[in-house]
Copies of this chain bind each other. A is one copy, B any other.
Amino acid sequence: MGVVKIPSFCLALLVAGVVPGSRSVVAEDRATEAARLTEDGRLVKPADYREWVWLSSGLGMTYGPAAPAPGQNPSFDNVFVNPRSYRAFIESGQWPEGTIFVLEIRSSVSKGSINRDGHYQAGLRAIEAEVKKDGKWTFYGFEGENESAKAIPRTASCYGCHATNGAVDNTFVQFYPTLLEVARAKGTLKPGVTE
């Protein structure tokens, strides 16, 4: 499996960005979909992101440390967003303050049960997040069973790549077909990035 140059999030820094940290929460919100940060600025993994709004999944789009090892099957990437921000995007074609994306990377299986040729999803390989706060996006990488992750440094290449190539704001709406239609209708696509 080759390394593919397609950042959904900044996977290149996934491993470097993850160390165990404090669980104490200073910015807690009762709504489970609000970003929760620990005293030392780590993002608490949203417990219920699998019940958030799923935007899309791709296969074979991961790169960097989260890319499959040679001989491994390609990974699926699953993208979720908090429901309140999803509904705001449907209305406006833009991401409001407080938006949280969660990217889940899973291995694929091509032979199992009655499936013989297609690819379906299996074990978790990585979880990442991207949060919009004070108008700025910040990336976080969770590893294994870690329940919080520190921010990936702003010098990382993911920040510039998302800002330049994301179809709307910092996000790859060009890969989320239903949101791409919304952004087209609302006129919020960045010029030239969807071709």
Residues of A near any B CB (own CB < 8 A): 2, 4-7, 50-51, 53-54, 56-62, 74, 76, 78, 80, 83, 86, 106, 108, 112-124, 165, 167, 172, 174-178, 193-195
Contacts and interface: CB of A to CB of B under 8 A. Distances in A.
A118 B6 contact: yes
Nearest to A117: B4
25 contacts: A4-B116, A4-B118, A7-B114, A50-B53, A51-B86, A54-B78, A56-B120, A57-B78, A57-B121, A58-B115, A58-B120, A60-B117, A60-B118, A60-B119, A61-B118, A61-B119, A62-B118, A106-B177, A112-B194, A112-B195, A113-B165, A113-B193, A113-B194, A121-B177, A124-B177
A106 B172 CA distance: 18
Contacts of A117: 2, 4, 6, 60
Nearest to A2: B117
Contacts of A193: 113
A50 to B, nearest CB: 6
